[in-house]
Structure 1
Amino acid sequence: VGDGEAGAEVYCVANDRSQTKRVFEPALAMATKSAALAKRIKAVPSRYRLVKRDDMMSYVQALSCELRIAEGVNAHAVFVDELHSFDERGRKRFYELRFADCARAEPLFVVISTAGDNELGIGYEQYEFSKSVLAGTREDITHFVYIAEPKEGEKPGSVEAIASANPLLNVTVQLDEIQDKFKKSDGRPGERNQYLRYRENRWIKQSADPWLRLKDWDACDGEFEPSPGDTCFGGLDLAAKYDLSAWSMCFPLGDDEYAFTAHFWLPEEHIQEREQNDRLPYRKWVDDGWMTLTPGPTTDYEFIEQRIADDAALYDLIDFGFDPCFARRSAQRLQDEFGLTLFEFAQTPGHYTEPCKLFAECVKARRLRHDGNPLLRVHASQVAVRSDAGGRIMPIKADKNRRWYHIDGIVAVLMAFQRATANEGVTGGMPMAVQL
């Protein structure tokens, strides 16, 4: 309506239908309640569309990332709402529209979002890029950035932090109300995280009290590549049918230092659903060699068993721990057909307490080296430990309410690590303890 662009296609994009409706309704209200706009714009609420009356090819269309975007989109302007909530499906839609304006003379692409809690998503990716433009480390004269967030050193709940994150403080939001919400969130980690996101615009990267800090984890990335014949111990966490399966090998390096690798499997027919639910680029990691897709709708254990047998033939695999809940049959076949030595690793605090404590110490002291598997890094960021009445601990999801949280890789790593530390000094022979 405003700039006279012929056939102007304008898109308002949100992650799901519910948010799309919230985006469209204010525009619909403006178009129908303004007499001047109503003369020029026809509303089609059932299609979430506003059409210019004298140019039916010019319209505003609200889109949900749940729907496929047709080929041939020629966007004049795109407005993206709450990018932090976009999953991997949303990432795809974002880039489809981001590059759908090449035929326009002066296209506009606007992103509006609060802070989120998924540092692997497209929202955090764009946030980091925008920060680099502001800092001057990346040059992009087409990229205008405005971020209202606390400055470095401004403590949560402080007047300075609140003012930095709320440019209309005491106009649309009141200082005393925000301070009251901060006080009420004390001692409630979940509520405190929500306060930090929505009142101070801070990204929440991990649980409030993470077991493994990603800063320490990343410092252990040693690009480790084992040599044939190296002594190692394994850990196997098999999925029931549809979930991730993980296999890890731990290589003792001497002087209380260890290195490990990890590999993952998913059923091929569920890859799209899992990418959307978990908000992770699984197919990219398959292409990069960190994961394998097994054919069909459920996990094909033969693929995993063959990988373990191949690793046992290549390295000096002393034994491996496995969760008997789902892996008993595979473990038995590996023992019967390939002669591998097994350790039945019940998922109880009794088995996990010592390896968990030592593992955390080794990560913090940089005595571990890993191969940089990006999915294992995700699992490291999503794991916490739970203590029982006796002070024993075992790994759990840092937030059980987040369905996209998984710790399968860390579980496999801890089982392999326990076997290595329990059999310290053992090479080429029977382990100290075997349960079948």
Structure 2
Amino acid sequence: MANPHVVAANKYARDVIAGKVPAGKYVRGACARHLADLDKSKSKSYPFVFDAAAGERACAFIEKLPHTKGKWARMGERLVLSPWQCFIIVCVFGWKRRKNGMRRFRELYAEIPRKNGKSQIGAGIGLYMLIADGEYGAEIYSGATTEKQAWEVFGPARQMMQRTPGLLKAAGAEVWAKSIAIPSDGSRFEPIIGKPGDGSSPSCALIDEFHEHDTPDLIDTMQTGMGAREQPLTCIITTAGYNLAGPCYDKHSESKKVLDGLIENDELFAIIFSIDEEDDWASPTSLQKANPNFDISVDADFLMAQQRRATMNPIEQNRFKTKHLNVWCSARNAWMNMQQWQFCADPSLTLDEFEGTECVFVLDLASKNDICAFVQVFKRELNGQDHYYAFGRYYLPSDAIEENKTNQALYRKWVIQGYLIPLEGAEIDFDVIREDVRAMATRFDVQEVAYDPWRATQLAHQLAKDGATVVEYRQTVQNMSPAMKEVMAAVKAGRFHHDGNPCLNWMVSNVVAKEDAKENIYPRKDRPEQKIDGPVAIMMGVGRLMVAEPLYPVLPDDYSLTIV
């Protein structure tokens, strides 16, 4: 059979579309895109052409490599690509630019659950790019944030070469402690932590478990250095993660938009193995849908045992969903289902729609390293149900932005986009917030300004003198639990509305629900760098709007500071 791997790849795509292979929306999207492009390529006006021989060559090369782990390695078996793996390799290496024959795709983004052979694919691609891609002086980097992670791809690649002396000799390659080199033209394959050094010119960047990266620095530096290469490849093979503000989630979101047909990026090949939003994550069918190597490299009994454990222990659910079903779940023990939260987003929603409307202002003022939140919460009754609408302004001292290396890239991005307000110096300037509150109060019917007493008493007194009804809202379990539960219920029922502010989305994803013996819950965070000030302020606002009658007495006109 001519080009058997290409035949297998195309059959896989057709079987996915026909429903013969269990697959989620974004696997179906990748398959449909490939098949549609094959039809388009029949026209000479289409800028891309499919080179079956090139796709076949890459697959055939990878199948010459040996297994490095498990029973197949013990028996000395070589890699055998499953149809879904053939599909990825054939697409990435088979599609060419009609005008010059160079590869179409410069970027591969594949989200694959654990134990489905990600590292083997990454190692195979890396070795192909080193030995068989025809790139003189090739530079292949396995990049990660830690040495251990960088070796997850480089380690198997190194072992593959050591166990294939014929390939080693044919390529003229040498295997060293931390590199695979071809002295004749200076090609090399190395693990790298952080950014590559000056002068590096990557022809292939392999990024394993990209979800663990807090910033895009490594991949940005890699891609910037690729300018001199004719057909470089950035290969991101990862599972889903918890950091919804990180660069991996940005790439995940971009990939979904490409596969949904919302944006065009002809240089990105994307595929996401996961379940669909309407799927029951506890169903055995979901395991097959998300795990393309189900009962091949990942044991079916193991997955089902992990699934049963997650159904019995809520604490284990997000870990299971993220690692074995490829569902982004924010914090490991997250309070909010971020898919439901995103459904509540309406980017067209603006404060202008609420001019003159009753509302509650909330201030959650912070230390110098935390985000200070000033939120506006409105309530409307629709069809007999309470609907909440939340907006916010978020502040951070400029010194904190520069000193926080973990979140620095995020903060800078949000400052540029206008979602985070930088305040000069090392601490929050409360006068700026006071002026913002006063200016905003002229636009709406502000019933009260709720605040947490931590660091805010002086500002509260100043606002009271400005004429505001100021309510001290202590962040106790008794105050926070009902509000937290109401926000969750409103989000699930579609009764909560926000404008999609990415800074707020990130903070919501960081919230962990701490539960006591009486089933009260309280907002917490896993780590200090995970800020939650915005959602806490929203809970305070909803808590005040839930109160049918004011809990504070009528006070003299010149002083309206009250406590609940």
Common topology (TM > 0.5) = yes
Counterpart in the other structure of 1:286 = 415
| Equivalent in 497, 507, 525 of residue 379 of structure 1 | 507
| Alpha-carbon offset, residue 216 of structure 1 | 5.1
- Number of equivalenced pairs: 423
1:189 maps to 2:314: yes
Equivalence map 1:226-375=2 (5 Å): 231-251=358-378, 259-271=389-401, 274=404, 276-277=406-407, 281-312=410-441, 317-335=446-464, 338=466, 340-356=468-484, 359-360=487-488, 363=491, 369-375=497-503
**Hey, what's the Cα distance between the residues in 2 that align with 1:267 and 1:316?**
30
**Hey, what's the Cα distance between the residues in 1 that align with 2:478 and 2:276?**
45
| Alpha-carbon offset, residue 104 of structure 1 | 2.0
Q: Deviations over 1:121-150 (max 9, x none)?
A: 333343344455556666555444454445
Equivalence map 1:142-161=2 (5 Å): 142-150=267-275, 155-156=280-281, 158-161=283-286
Identity within the alignment, %: 28
Equivalence map 1:413-428=2 (5 Å): 413-420=538-545, 422=547
1:163 maps to 2:278: no
Tell me, what secondary structure is at the counterpart of 1:247?
strand
1:135–1:227 Cα change, 3 Å: closer
Tell me, what secondary structure is at the counterpart of 2:504?
helix
Q: Deviations over 1:42-72 (max 9, x none)?
A: 5564xx444332233x3223222xx344565
| Alpha-carbon offset, residue 315 of structure 1 | 5.0
Structure 1 letter corresponding to 2:141: Y
CA contact (8 A) 2:281 2:321 kept: yes
Q: Deviations over 1:168-198 (max 9, x none)?
A: 4444333223323323333223333333333
CA contact (8 A) 1:286 1:293 kept: yes
Counterpart in the other structure of 2:305 = 180
Tell me, what secondary structure is at the counterpart of 2:230?
coil
CA contact (8 A) 1:220 1:366 kept: no
1:5–1:183 Cα change, 3 Å: same
Stretch of structure 1 that moved more, 146-155 or 97-106: 146-155
Tell me, what secondary structure is at the counterpart of 2:311?
coil
CA contact (8 A) 2:143 2:206 kept: yes
| Alpha-carbon offset, residue 217 of structure 1 | 2.6
| Equivalent in 311, 322, 341 of residue 214 of structure 1 | 341
Stretch of structure 1 that moved more, 405-414 or 145-154: 145-154
Tell me, what secondary structure is at the counterpart of 1:195?
helix
Q: Deviations over 1:203-227 (max 9, x none)?
A: 4357576378315532697323267
1:104 maps to 2:229: yes
| Alpha-carbon offset, residue 365 of structure 1 | 5.7
Counterpart in the other structure of 1:61 = 190
**Hey, what's the Cα distance between the residues in 2 that align with 1:228 and 1:169?**
55
**Hey, what's the Cα distance between the residues in 1 that align with 2:282 and 2:541?**
43
CA contact (8 A) 2:207 2:235 kept: yes
Counterpart in the other structure of 2:88 = none
CA contact (8 A) 1:214 1:381 kept: no
Structure 1 unmatched runs, 5+: none
Tell me, what secondary structure is at the counterpart of 2:523?
strand
CA contact (8 A) 1:220 1:363 kept: no
Tell me, what secondary structure is at the counterpart of 1:75?
coil
1:71–1:214 Cα change, 3 Å: same
Structure 2 unmatched runs, 5+: 1-130
| Alpha-carbon offset, residue 31 of structure 1 | 5.2
Tell me, what secondary structure is at the counterpart of 1:185?
helix
Structure 2 letter corresponding to 1:303: V
CA contact (8 A) 1:76 1:104 kept: yes
| Alpha-carbon offset, residue 412 of structure 1 | 1.6
| Alpha-carbon offset, residue 372 of structure 1 | 3.7
Structure 1 letter corresponding to 2:480: Y
**Hey, what's the Cα distance between the residues in 2 that align with 1:316 and 1:135?**
42
CA contact (8 A) 2:336 2:508 kept: no
1:6 maps to 2:136: yes
CA contact (8 A) 1:259 1:368 kept: yes
CA contact (8 A) 2:208 2:236 kept: yes
CA contact (8 A) 2:140 2:189 kept: yes
Give the alignment's Cα RMSD to 1 decimal.
4.1
1:71–1:368 Cα change, 3 Å: same
CA contact (8 A) 2:310 2:317 kept: yes
Stretch of structure 1 that moved more, 317-326 or 245-254: 245-254
Structure 2 letter corresponding to 1:233: V
**Hey, what's the Cα distance between the residues in 2 that align with 1:422 and 1:216?**
27
| Alpha-carbon offset, residue 237 of structure 1 | 0.8
1:434 maps to 2:559: no
CA contact (8 A) 1:320 1:341 kept: yes
Equivalence map 1:382-401=2 (5 Å): 382-383=510-511, 393=520, 395-397=522-524, 400-401=525-526
Counterpart in the other structure of 2:54 = none
1:387–1:324 Cα change, 3 Å: same
Q: Deviations over 1:75-99 (max 9, x none)?
A: 2122111122222x2x243234335
**Hey, what's the Cα distance between the residues in 2 that align with 1:161 and 1:293?**
44
1:114 maps to 2:221: no
**Hey, what's the Cα distance between the residues in 2 that align with 1:208 and 1:334?**
35
1:72–1:330 Cα change, 3 Å: farther
Q: Deviations over 1:92-122 (max 9, x none)?
A: 4323433543332232222211232334433
Tell me, what secondary structure is at the counterpart of 2:377?
strand
